[in-house]
Amino acid sequence: MSDELPVRLAGARAPTLMWAAENEIEQAALAQLRNIAALEWVHGVRVMPDVHLGKGATVGSVIAMERAVSPAAVGVDIGCGVAAVRTSLVADDLERMPVLRSAVEQTIPVGFRGHDDPVDVRPLRLDRGSAAFWGRFGELAPSVQRLESKAHHQLGTLGGGNHFLEVTVSSEDASVWLTLHSGSRNIGKELAERHITVARGLPHNQDLPDRDLAVFLRDTPEMATYRHDLDWAQEYAMRSRAVMMELFKGVVERHFEAASVRFGETISVHHNYVSEEIVDGRPMLVTRKGAIRAGAGELALVPGSMGTGSYIVRGLGNPASFSSASHGAGRRMSRNAARRAFGGTDEGASEIAAQLGTVESRRDAGILDELPGAYKDLHHVIASQRDLVEVVAHLQTVLCVKG
């Protein structure tokens, strides 16, 4: 377990430390990690225990580069991350969960949908800096200018895939927590794909082992444009989570009106992003794709699969991992493989019932690729990084809204 970790990846040019045994990682992901470590700008790679194959760069990777950054090492959902808030409710207060789920789904659009009208952030007390933020939209890449209205309508919406809104209960004290996982919606995806395409066409990227790992170089117009658009998309994702959490809290307050619900401070972290950090005494651009910053004392949410709960953790600031930790459980099956494995003759009804138990959730074939069996064991993932984070609370899922 963690006493034997990290291990060094054999055959990697840049030092690559892994908080997972090599035999636990798919061969394609190991090859991808070696391709990343082969880039001349890479100072080091750190691999989290939820590691799995990704597009270009591996999910669960932390990459420190000097004078360069790879858009694929951030991913197409720029700023994707999680949020959590403790409530004054306890498990015994929970009631009418199907009614609560319906109210959440009516308030917060899921899937491809957006709000009928953009959310007015003033009553939510989230308007600070909002005008300046939206004023920068006209400075984004020309290819996304048509999306401004859509971006307004999608702010504070869930999206699809593995994104969720959950009501959870702490195993330690039965306190109720609200958690969510979301990203930068269509606007972040469009910006990421645009910049990945630009990077692939630059002369210095023509001989890479994988062109999807194409990089921008410091002090170039392409890097400046990417960093500008990236920063905007990261802020969009953070603002969207804040709006969603306030809407979520409002639904809960109305549902449990008699309980006079109170809320603690919100924990909110990115796990697909870039930051400027000092690594080994030198300034670096650090990308985390499917990884969180776990600086000393920093709180974060590490979610598991649908219905298996999450962990609130506190970072230990371990420099060996570039002060990082896993972002979740990590997939062990592709989406297509999960659908094939769990579909069965009853369109997955028996697997859904067996794997979700009493969790209040939609139960149609559209969630087959998000069932717990498609993911790694979250408890093992947490145990594998005891030198990176300490557990504050284990949260068991009671209600889950999926995109």
Q: What letter does residue 219 receive in the DSSP assignment?
A: T
Question: Does 310 show up as a binding residue in the annotation?
Answer: yes
Query: What phi, psi does 64 have (nearest 5°)?
Result: -100, 120
Other beta carbons less than 10 A from residue 371's beta carbon? 23
* Residue 165 annotated as lining a ligand binding site: yes
Q: Establish whether 52 is an annotated binding residue.
A: no
Q: Which residues have a catalytic role annotated?
A: 327
For strands 42-52 and 16-18, give the pairing.
parallel
Report how far residue 361's alpha carbon sits from residue 271's, in angstroms, rounded to the nearest whole number. 25
Instruction: For 223-278, give the DSSP string.
Output: HHHHHHHHHHHHHHHHHHHHHHHHHHHHHHHHHTGGG---B-PPEEEESEEEEEEE
The reply, when asked if residue 328 is annotated as ligand binding, is yes
The answer to the question of whether 272 is labelled as a binding residue is yes
Non-local (6+) Cβ contacts of 97 within 8 A are: 167, 360, 398, 399
263 appears as a binding residue in the annotation: no
Contact between 343 and 365 (Cβ < 8 Å):
yes
Is 77 annotated in a binding site? The answer is yes
115 is in an annotated binding site: no
Strand, helix or coil for residue 389: strand
b/e burial code for range 327-361 (CB count within 10 A of at least 16 → b): bbbbbbbeeeebbebbeeeeebeebbeebbeebbb
Measuring CA to CA, how many Å separate 256 from each of 57, 91, 253, 262, 298?
44, 12, 5, 11, 31
303 has binding-site annotation: yes
305 belongs to an annotated ligand binding site: yes
Terminal Cα-to-Cα distance of the chain (whole angstroms): 34
Question: Would the annotation count 164 as a binding residue?
Answer: yes
Query: How far apart are alpha carbons 194 and 188 in whole angstroms?
Result: 10
The annotated binding site is made up of 77, 162-166, 181, 271-272, 303-306, 310, 327-330, 402
The annotated binding site for Mn(2+) is made up of 77, 163, 181, 271
The annotated binding site for GMP is made up of 162-166, 271-272, 303-306, 310, 327-330, 402
